[in-house]
Amino acid sequence: MKRLPAALLLACLLLASLCCAAPPGDTPWLSRDADGATRVHLYFFWSARCPHCQEAKPYVEDLAVAYPWLELHSYEVNGSAANRERYRRMAERLGEEAASVPAFLFCGQMRVGYATAESTGEALRQALLACRAAGAAAIPEEKSALPPGLNPEALSLPLFTLIIAGLDAFNPCAFFVLLFLLSLLAREHSRARMGVIGGVFVLCSGLVYFLFMAAWLNAFLLIGELRAVTAVAGAIAIFLALLNIKDFFRFRQGPTLSIPDSAKPALYRRVRGLLAGGRWPALLLGTVTLAVAANSYELLCTAGFPMVYTRTLTLHALSPAAYYAYLALYNLVYVLPLGLIVLGFVYSLGQRKLGEREGRLLKLLSGTMILGLGVLLVAAPHWLSSPWVAAALLLAAVAVTAVAARMRW
């Protein structure tokens, strides 16, 4: 029996890990706290430029203080494109239109407008009380086992990050350069030299990739949550995916995202020139230079993943620190296989090259996954908020690649 590539093995492990997590659902209306008491979630959308919003805001905040069971989620929409998109998505799920503020969404209903505390405010308070009374019996007791503050929606983005980054980690271009470098280092039979140079190369690769993704993130945040921008990003992802899939069937024929043959001699010279220097300062500086040069080609191999991921990230209302924390998590997962390759070479002092068949299968796996993500960005971007959609795409990509691995092409 033929062994499946390591990419398929890790993909299956990622998929299996999802089965152990609590299934994420839609935005929660009700939950239970650590003591088992019912909590009502109130989503309040307002604008700093809206006079009625300014009148409603202190009343709503006082309600949250008066009723500890009321979980207030307050979103200012004028200064945040992400909050506007959140409002649009939530209203759409309720069959409503996010046309004006202030808006109050709770218990599967949406109320818009605010007049006075005695009229609109009191009606809102009574509705929230009725919601809690009716919902107390509607929540299964086992939900109280969830840790305080943890809701199903909060699980979606971390798992989505692990899935996409885990698949992006199997970058054939990154593997090609690193394996060639380590193969030459293995001839010197120095584990310390191999470990340090390989580790610096992996660290610099992750840093360059992080900066690349940060540029995508800031570009999308600057542009805002325009639907057309999301559709264009999806169309670009589909184009890149088709190029990767083409490389599986017609390797080195026509346009490609692989490292071009014309660029490989220059990379080879850089690697050999690096190893020719005997002093550590020159070795480390040369390794950094090589990593930057190599990553200029590596970024093209799976450019669709960071673009799709950063666009999806901007569809969530997060703080700047949270955005960069997710990018850091993504890149930690991205460099993990590269780090394991370095450790494997240090341990065995062996020589290994990425074969053409393995490279083609990695192209097919990533291309199939990016294709599905691109289609979703164009047709239904809100589906990307669920990691189960990403898991389904991953499963489909693994299945297609597994079938292709057993066939002769």
Tokens coding 263: 């660029």
Backbone angles phi, psi at 107, to 5 degrees: 50, 40
CA distances from 228 to 235, 244, 258, 318, 369 (A): 10, 25, 29, 22, 22
Do residues 74 and 199 both lie within one domain?
no
* Within-domain flag for 81: yes
Tokens coding 79: 């200064």
Could you tell me what percentage of the chain is helix, strand and coil, using 3-state DSSP and rounding each to the nearest 5? 70, 5, 25
- Give the CATH number for residue 89: 3.40.30.10
Per-residue pLDDT 10s for the chain (409 aa) are: 344 444 444 444 444 433 333 333 345 788 877 677 788 999 999 999 898 999 999 999 999 988 988 999 999 998 888 899 999 989 988 888 898 999 999 988 899 999 888 888 988 998 898 888 776 544 444 333 333 343 334 456 788 888 888 877 776 666 666 766 666 666 666 677 777 777 888 888 888 889 988 988 888 877 765 567 777 777 877 887 787 788 788 776 766 656 556 666 666 666 666 666 556 676 677 777 777 766 666 666 666 778 888 888 877 767 788 889 999 999 999 888 888 877 877 776 555 555 667 667 767 777 787 788 778 777 877 676 566 777 787 788 888 888 888 876 5
What is the DSSP track for 312-326? HHHTS---HHHHHHH
The number of folded domains in the chain is 2
Tokens coding 370: 């990016």
Do residues 399 and 377 both lie within one domain?
yes
Strands 38-46 and 103-106: antiparallel
Do residues 137 and 170 both lie within one domain?
no
Domain termination site, one of 100, 115, 143 = 143
Do residues 138 and 206 both lie within one domain?
no
Do residues 165 and 300 both lie within one domain?
yes
pLDDT of residue 372: 81
Do residues 135 and 171 both lie within one domain?
no
Do residues 158 and 137 both lie within one domain?
no
What is the DSSP track for 348-395? H-------HHHHHHHHHHHHHHHHHHHHHHHH-GGGGG-HHHHHHHHH
Do residues 186 and 101 both lie within one domain?
no
* Within-domain flag for 176: yes
Query: Are 38 and 132 a contacting pair, CB within 8 Å?
Result: yes
pLDDT of residue 101: 93
Q: Which of 31, 100, 104, 99 is nearest to 63 (CA)?
A: 104
19-37: b (≥16 Cβ within 10 Å) or e? eeeeebeebbbbbbeeeee
Do residues 225 and 325 both lie within one domain?
yes
* Within-domain flag for 7: no
* Within-domain flag for 12: no
Residue 207's domain comprises 153-405
Do residues 64 and 191 both lie within one domain?
no
Domain termination site, one of 143, 164, 192 = 143
pLDDT of residue 41: 92
* Within-domain flag for 276: yes
Domain termination site, one of 111, 143, 175 = 143
Do residues 180 and 135 both lie within one domain?
no
Helices and strands counted in the chain (H then E): 14, 5
User: Looking at this protein, which amino acid is placed at residue 299?
Assistant: L
* Within-domain flag for 2: no
* Within-domain flag for 5: no
pLDDT of residue 154: 47
Do residues 400 and 273 both lie within one domain?
yes
* Within-domain flag for 3: no
Tokens coding 246: 């083409």
